[in-house]
Structure 1
Amino acid sequence: MTAVKVRVAQGTPCWVSLMAHDLEGAKAFYGPLLGWDFTPGPAELGCYVRASLHGAKVAGIGVAQAEPALPVEWTTYFAVDSADEVSARVRECGGTVAVGPLQSESAGRLAIAADLSGAFFGLWEGQEHLGWEVVGEPGAPVWNELVTNDEPLAATFYGSVLGRTVVEADPSALARGDEEATLQVDGHRVAGLRQTTDLRDGPPRWRVYFAVTDTDLTAGQTKMLGGSVLVAPYDTPYGRVARLADPEGGRFSVVRLP
């Protein structure tokens, strides 16, 4: 596998990062589960490592510096041309900028924000580090989807903040279980927005999907490594999916592509 280092257009998910309480525990879980190796990340981010798949960067894991009672969660980062300008639009549209914008050594400039429902997401203005270097292969990210209780409001917010088009699904797509809306860049679907009242989804958040070779085997390995299966493997038009959690409760999904 060859690492691909390209700058993606604004509004495209480009990185995912987990803020854990136990960094070594997270490495011991995700390393064998997804085939990751780890290298130190920028010092400004504190205890932070980058996960690599056969040498290609795919994700980050850091240590949460805030109140230990806060839940462990994965955060989806969107590529932006200017973290400062997009952060200003977040505030103009009623969202919150919780961190930054701040410089992360020569890697890039970042901010962490929350939408109107409280779902957190990141903004990444890549410089030396442009984001993940492989997607859609086993062990790498493959999809990001907002789970929200107000999809129309979320669609307006993200469309305005990122300056991109949000397209509603047609009735036939909804019948197949597709997202209710998709964030699109240059006519391509880059992320989903899904309305839900399923209590298992928890509060509004961005859900991260990783590709795997065998969904059922990965679900079994998750339990062996101390994690849990939130929703057992099931088939979808996009492949066989399972919703899982790491030992600290960090939620993520895996999918075996068709």
Structure 2
Amino acid sequence: MTESRGRAGQDGDDTALRIPGTPCWVSLMAHGLEATQEFYGALFGWEFRPGPQQLGPYLRALLDGREVAGIGQLPPDRRLPVAWTPYLASDDVDRTAGTVRSCGGTVAVGPLDAAEAGRMLLASDPSGAVFGVWQAAAHLGTAVTGVPGTPAWNELVTYTAAGVATFYVTAFGHAQKAVPATGRDYVTLHVDGRPVAGVRGVGDALPRDRGPHWVTYFETADVADAVRRVAGLGGRVLEGVREDDLGRVAMVADREGARFALLERAPG
């Protein structure tokens, strides 16, 4: 599970992580750091080391010494959702903050410096879905992809796809492409001609306890086995294994209820 052969950064090129609008990092805010480390360490083979502490205790998850994700601790006095959050790259977080606001989004935290690692903010789009923005310095972002235990895809689950996709097109320069052949309300967001994220409209099927939200997909070699291990580690299976355009997918949640997807890619 921890074999780290794969792409260094997105599409095999660390510099791609810096292209504005590209998902470059994922971070989980949870209540119990120790239990969360145990869960993801057992599921993905992650190890952990301290990261910047500007927003409280924070850990970076590593595969074979290379950073793949972050885990922070929620303040005990704040009732915020336990959730995975994707970060989109920016070459100027302060300018991006202004653009997010002018496009109808809300900046909740920042912009602020994360020590020597870079500069960041947390925001929400007009539908209320939370995302981050990262301006890289010492820390580029996810250091390896394409192997089990690494982020593979990010998808926004919302009421309708087209309207909120326009926000990301305007704020981050994404191109959007509808996927009508699937019969679903689905749009892909593109950077430099390559798909980097999806927007899925589900209407009234949106979970009432969550509202619009981003879902991170993590690579796995055997999705059925990974689902069994999630349940054995105290997590929950929200949607069983199904066939998707990306491969075989299951939707699960960790011990605290953070939703994420497991992806076994289709051969080729």
TM norm structure 1: 0.94
Structure 2 SS opposite 1:180: strand
Structure 1 segment 169-184 matched on structure 2, within 5 A: 169=179, 171-172=180-181, 174-175=182-183, 180-184=186-190
Asked if 1:114 is matched to 2:124, the reply is yes
Return the alpha-carbon distance in structure 1 between the equivalents of residues 260 and 189 of structure 2. 20
Shift of the alpha carbon at 1:166? 1.6
SS at match of 2:40: helix
Aligned to 1:195: 201
Q: Alignment partner for residue 162 of structure 1, among 158, 172, 188?
A: 172
Give the number of aligned pairs. Answer: 254
Verify: 1:210 aligned to 2:218, yes or no: yes
Q: Which residue of structure 1 aligns with residue 54 of structure 2?
A: 44
Q: Structure 1's 180 and 199: CA in aligned 2 closer, same or farther, altered over 3 A?
A: closer
Q: Return 4-13 or 182-191, whichever deviates more.
A: 4-13
For the residue of structure 2 that corresponds to 1:59, the secondary structure is: strand
Query: What CA deviation, in whole Å up to 9, does each residue of 1:67-125 have, x standing for no partner?
Result: 45332000000011111011100100111000000000010000000000100000000
Quick one: which amino acid aligns to residue 164 of structure 2?
A
Q: Which amino acid aligns with 1:96?
A: T
Q: Following superposition, which runs of at least 4 residues in structure 1 exceed 6 angstroms of deviation?
A: none
Q: Is the 8 A contact 1:200 1:230 kept in 2?
A: no
Deviation (angstroms), 1:156: 1.0
Q: Name the SS of the counterpart of 1:44 in structure 2.
A: coil
CA distance in structure 1 between the aligned counterparts of 2:207 and 2:107, rounded to whole angstroms: 27
Q: Distance in 2 between matches of 1:110 and 1:4?
A: 22
- Is the contact between residue 21 and residue 68 of structure 1 (CA under 8 Å) also seen in structure 2? no
Alpha-carbon shift at residue 167 of structure 1 (Å):
1.8
Letter in 2 for 1:118: G
Unmatched segments (≥5 aa) in structure 1 = none
Do the aligned residues in 2 keep the contact of 1:97 with 1:111 (CA within 8 Å)? yes
TM-score, with length taken from structure 2: 0.90
Q: Hey, what does 1:98 align to over in structure 2? A: 108
Distance, in Å, in 1 between the alignment partners of 2:78 and 2:249 is 30
Q: Secondary structure at the match of 1:155?
A: helix
Task: Percent identity, please.
Answer: 46
**1:9-29 Cα deviation digits (max 9, x unpaired):** 110000000000011110010
Cα offset for 1:66?
6.2
One-letter code aligned to 2:186: E
Unaligned runs of 5+ in 2: none
Is the contact between residue 120 and residue 206 of structure 1 (CA under 8 Å) also seen in structure 2?
Answer: yes
Deviation at 1:221, TM superposition (A): 0.6
Distance 1:136 1:13 in 2: 14
How far, CA to CA, are the matches of 2:123 and 2:141 in structure 1? Answer: 18
| Greater alpha carbon shift after TM alignment, 19-28 vs 158-167 | 158-167
Q: Distance in 2 between matches of 1:190 and 1:199?
A: 22
Give the residue type in structure 1 aligned to 2:8.
Answer: V
Q: Residues 138 and 213 of structure 1 are in contact (CA less than 8 Å); yes or no, is this contact kept in structure 2?
A: yes
